[in-house]
Amino acid sequence: MKKKVLAALMAVALTALTACGATPAPAATGSGDAAAPAASESSGGGKKVAVAMPTQSSERWMHDGANMKAQLEELGYTVDLQYAEDDVQAQVSQIENMIAAGANCLVIAAIDSDALVNVEQQAKDAGIPVIAYDRLLMNTDAVSYYATFDNKGVGTKIGQYIVEHCGATKDNPQTIELFMGSPDDNNAHMLYAGLMEQIQPMLDEGSLICKSGQIDFEDNNTLRWDQQTAMKRCEDILTRYYADEDLDICACAYDGLSYGCMSALEGAGYTEANWPLITGQDAELMATKHIISGKQTMSIYKDTRLLASKCVTMVQAVLEGATPEINDTEQYNNGKIVVPSYLCEPVPVDKDNYKEVIIGGGYYTEEQLAE
C-alpha cells in the first residue's frame, strides 16, 4: 500500500515537472544525424520560419518544437517558435503576429484547425507558404505540404496490440472502455477508425464487452486531449458500470489520457492484482517509466526528430524550390484539397522492446528512465 502511495506521489510530481516542461527532450538533432537534412543542402540565408505549436503541457510538443528549431537553425534559418497552451484564440493571434512580423514560411501544428481558416487565407494572400505539422489543417487550400505520422496506423497498432495481448475469448470475455482524442483534431478520428477496425470483430462476437456502451467516437472523445477530462470520465464509468466487475482494458489514445485513467483506477481501489491493460501514444518519458514498472502496458513511439527532419525538407522545398519526399497523395483530404504528405511510421513499444526501440534509438537514455 505504502508503495502505491509513493508511486502516486511520484506520478503527481512527474506530471507537474512535465507540465512545466522540465522533462528533458531527446537530443535535438543537428549535424551528424542521419534523419536531419544535411547542412550542405542549406541555403536558409536568414529567411524567417515561424513555427506555431499547440502546447507545452504535453511532452511531445516540447520535443517537436526543440527539434524543429535546432534543425532549421542548422540550415541557416531564423526561427520564431511559439506555443499557444491549447488556447485556440491565442494561436490565431500568434499566427497573425507571425505574418505581420514578416515570416517567410509558416509551420503550424493546430489546436483547432478549423479555427485557422481565416488566418491561413491571410498567409496565402501575403504569399507565405504554410506547412501542416503533425495535425492536418482542415478546409483550406493555403497549405502546401503535411508532415505527420501514419495516424490511422497508430490506431491500427493500438488495436492489434489489444487483440494480440488481451487474451479475451467468447468463453472468457473481457471488458473494455475507450478514451479517444480531441474531436477537433483529424488525427483523433483517424486513430479511432484504425482502432475500431481491429477490435470491432471482437466486440461483435462478444469477446470484448464495453459495459458503458460508449463505443461511438462522439461518446468517448476527449476535448483537447485533456488528462483531467479523461480522469473524470473514467471515474464516472467505473462508478456507474463497474461496481461488480473489473474493467480489463483501457484503450487510451494518448499517454496523458492513460495517466488520467490510472488516477481514476487508483481512486477506485484497483491494485496490481486487477490492474487493466492500458494503452497510450507518444511514449512520453513518464509513460515509458510506467511501461517499465507495469503500470502502463504499451504506448506508440513517434520519433519527433524524424518528423521534424521531414518537415524541414518541406520548408526547404517551398522556400528554395527543392523537392521534398512525399509518400502519400491520397489519404489527407482536408475538405478543400488533398494535401501531399509524408507519413512517418509509428512504432508500438512495451516492456519487451522499449530497450531496443527507445534506448537503442537514442530517444531516452537508460539513466533518464531510471531517475
The binding site for ligand BGC (CB under 6 A) comprises: 58, 60, 134-135, 181, 185, 187, 225, 254, 281-282, 302
Q: How many alpha carbons fall within 13 Å on the CB side of residue 181?
A: 25
Q: Which of 350, 135, 333 is nearest to 225 (CA)?
A: 135
**DSSP 8-state assignment for residue 126:** T
Question: Least separation, in Å, of the C-beta of 148 and ligand BGC?
Answer: 7
Pick between residue 44 and residue 155 the one whose CB is nearest to ligand BGC. 155
Question: Least separation, in Å, of the C-beta of 4 and ligand BGC?
Answer: 27
What is the C-alpha R_g of the chain?
A: 21
Pick between residue 129 and residue 181 the one whose CB is nearest to ligand BGC. 181
Distances from the Cα of 314 to the Cα of 33, 56, 135, 207, 256, angstroms: 18, 24, 15, 45, 30
- The C-alpha torsion from 157 through 219 and 295 to 272, rounded to 10°, is -120
Question: Least separation, in Å, of the C-beta of 37 and ligand BGC?
Answer: 22
Distances from the Cα of 23 to the Cα of 201, 284, 367, 369, angstroms: 40, 9, 13, 11
Pick between residue 152 and residue 289 the one whose CB is nearest to ligand BGC. 152
Question: Least separation, in Å, of the C-beta of 371 and ligand BGC?
Answer: 23
Question: Least separation, in Å, of the C-beta of 300 and ligand BGC?
Answer: 8
Question: Least separation, in Å, of the C-beta of 181 and ligand BGC?
Answer: 6
Q: How many alpha carbons fall within 13 Å on the CB side of residue 247?
A: 30
Pick between residue 80 and residue 185 the one whose CB is nearest to ligand BGC. 185
- Nearest 5°: phi and psi at 43? -150, 35
Contact 305, 33 (CB under 8 A): yes
Question: Least separation, in Å, of the C-beta of 305 and ligand BGC?
Answer: 14
Pick between residue 154 and residue 208 the one whose CB is nearest to ligand BGC. 154
Cell of 285: 518519458
Contact 30, 366 (CB under 8 A): no
Pick between residue 47 and residue 290 the one whose CB is nearest to ligand BGC. 290
Pick between residue 60 and residue 152 the one whose CB is nearest to ligand BGC. 60
Question: Least separation, in Å, of the C-beta of 104 and ligand BGC?
Answer: 26
Pick between residue 135 and residue 290 the one whose CB is nearest to ligand BGC. 135
**CB-based contacts of 321, cutoff 8 Å, min separation 6:** none
Contact 59, 282 (CB under 8 A): yes
Q: What pairs with residue 341 in β-bridges?
A: 146, 328
